[in-house]
Each structure stands twice: as structure tokens, then as C-alpha cells.
Amino acid sequence: MEEIQNTMTPKDFKSDQEVRWCPGCGDHAIMNAIQRALPGLDTKKEDFAFISGIGCSSRFPYYMNTYGFHSIHGRASAIASGVKVANPNLNVWQITGDGDAMAIGGNHFIHAIRRNIDINIILFNNEIYGLTKGQYSPTSKFGSVTKTSPYGTVEHPFHPGELVIGAQGKFFARSIDSNIKLCQEIFVQAGEHHGATVVEVLQNCVIYNDKTHAALSDKEHKLDRTIVLRHGEPMIFGKNRDKGLILDTENLKMKVVELGDEYSEKDLLVHNSESVNPGLHQMLANMQYPEYPVAFGVIRSVNAQTYDGAVQKQVEEVKAKSKLKCVDDLLKSGTTWEV
């Protein structure tokens, strides 16, 4: 692949369109992080494509100075898949929300992941339908009071990480809108990965679901309630870095321990995002506060054959064996008549 001498800056990716998200919306921070991340990728500006569905987050392509397509509700995965297969050289990003991806778009979403199509899916998760004014979504917490559940939801929500890994996903990461630096770091890793990547960003909707992630963004307590995982590093967390994770082998589940007399850093699990076995990744993705710290960072990153790569290879193999090399060969094949 031709090496790109990248001299671009975040400003190169900002469009001239007025950004029409609500003041204080987490979408602003996520866009800022992506615009900071793209110059760090080995890709020409004209080779980026942003595809979205419907929802507040799906206005994203208008605000990016790249090629883009604002599609229809739930169909972003299908369109992004087609874009990538038709032109494998493109660096394709799908921008979607928890409703757009996992409700009406759920079928497209899981099969894009299962096929391992080389697209980067950024899942804005505010646990609500914001654009359509506050209905509960597939990720709304059990009991949430919303416009369509005035007495509290009676549904148990999807856990995006569990869904992605269950769909044979090879890359799953999580961040939060208030941590732009971590978002940028993860987006660069996603953009460099070959295969389907899903980055769940916990995002705040200030109008219809304000402070839904407040327990994890609170400045005083966030370091005790979250853990940032990095490949090859021990699973340690806490404001004073005095807590960690070990595997409770008797009950086959994660266990939070205090570092001190009984446990030291050497007793902690070391994060291996590249493990083919998804067992620990599933446990990490499913950890919820207050029993556990919520896992941020790249939780799973495994290399595997991509769908678009396999299609391209198959086409080249068929072309090499075919006796038909051009349209004239096709028209003159079989029985022909001269009129």
C-alpha cells in the first residue's frame, strides 16, 4: 500500500455546515474526537466515507468535510457494507445510535459484524430515542420512565458489547463522550484494524435522558467506577490505583480486589485484547456499576479474514480462470448468428 505523507489537521475534516445538535449534546465531543483521530490514519482525505442512518447522531456526515451518505432508518450497515465491497480502498465509517443500530437496524448490524466487513461502526449510546423526542430504546435501563414508558419500561436492555461479541465480532471497544482523548485513541485503533469494528460511546442527551451516564462521568468518582483496559497491561483502576480485577475461578466470574496485604499488582489479570477465545472479553464487556467498574478501552481486537477481502479475492480468482476477458468475449460466446 502506498504510504501516505499525512499533513492533515482536525480542521481539514470540519465542514462549513452549521452544527445543529443541542448545546451540551455529547455528539459534539465525539465528532471532535473523530476529527482529531483521522489525521493519524494512513489514509488520503478523499478515501474517507461516512455513512449514517437516522437519528441525531446521523447528521454526522453533514459536519464532516469528507464523502458521506445520510441514509434511512436502520440501513446504515447495509449501505456501508455495499460501499466497502464496491470500493475496498475506502476507509468507511458508520455513524449510528442505539435505536438506529439495534432496533430497526438490528439485523443489518449483527450480520455486518458476523461477516467481518471492514467498516468502523461508532455506536452513540444515550439509551433513548432523541430525535423523535424521548421514547425508550433497546438500551434503556429496566424501569426507565420515558415518553413511551410512563410507568417504567418492562424490558431488559441489550448490552452492546455482549451483542457484538455474540455476533462473532472481532473488535469491540467502549468510551464515553466526556473523555475526548480516550475516544481519539480508540478511534485511531479502530481505523487501523482490518475488519468490522464497533466502538460504543456512552453519550449524553441533555434534553431527553440527561445524566444517564453521570455515575461514570462524575469527576470525583469516575476513576473508581471505570477501568481503562489496554492490551498487555494489568487490570488496575481506582483514583489511587489501589483496585484491580482477578478471575474468580470457583464461580467463573470477575472479582474486584483491593491491592494491599492480600493482593498485589502481579496477582491481577493482564488484558489480552487479542485472545481468540471471547470468554474474558464477554465478561469485561458485561461488567456494570456498582458491582464492577465499567470497562473502557479496546476490549477485543482479533485479526480474521474480512468479507470484502474474501469477495475481492474470489472475483480475481474467477477472472483468472475465465475464458471471457471482455464484453466482446461474452457476446460472442455460445451459439451466435450473423443477421
Q: Contact, 132 vs 53, CB < 8 A?
A: no
95 strand-pairing partners: 52, 122
| pLDDT exceeds cutoff 70 at 176 | yes
What confidence score (pLDDT) does residue 1 get? 46
Residue 181 above 60 pLDDT? yes
195 falls within a domain:
yes
CATH code at 138? 3.40.50.970
The answer to whether residue 25 sits within a structural domain is: yes
Q: What is the pLDDT of residue 254?
A: 97
Residue 148 lies in a domain: yes
Inside any domain, residue 227:
no
pLDDT tens for each residue of 281-324: 999 999 999 999 999 999 999 999 999 999 999 999 999 999 88
Residue 3 has pLDDT above 80, yes or no: no
Residue bearing the bigger pLDDT, 102 or 1? 102
Closest CA to 63 of 15, 100, 99: 15
For CA atoms 44, 307, 317, 87, give the dihedral sign.
negative
Quick check: 4 pLDDT over 80? no
Would 223 be classed as within a structural domain? no
pLDDT in tens, 44-100: 999 999 999 999 999 999 999 999 999 999 999 999 999 999 999 999 999 999 999
| Calpha distance 261→280 (Å, rounded) | 26
Cα separation of 7 and 47, whole Å?
A: 15
Range of the domain at 128: 10-217+305-310
Q: Using one digit for the tens of pLDDT, what is the confidence trace for 207-266? A: 999 999 999 999 999 999 999 999 999 999 999 999 999 999 999 999 999 999 899 999
Count up the domains in the chain and report the number: 1
In this prediction, residue 2 carries a pLDDT of 52
Q: Contact, 59 vs 12, CB < 8 A? A: no
**Any alpha helices (H) in the chain, and if so which ranges?**
27-37, 60-63, 76-86, 98-99, 106-115, 160-166, 180-192, 214-217, 222-225, 279-286, 307-321, 327-331
Does 211 reside within a domain? yes
- Give helix then strand counts, H and E, for the chain: 12, 11
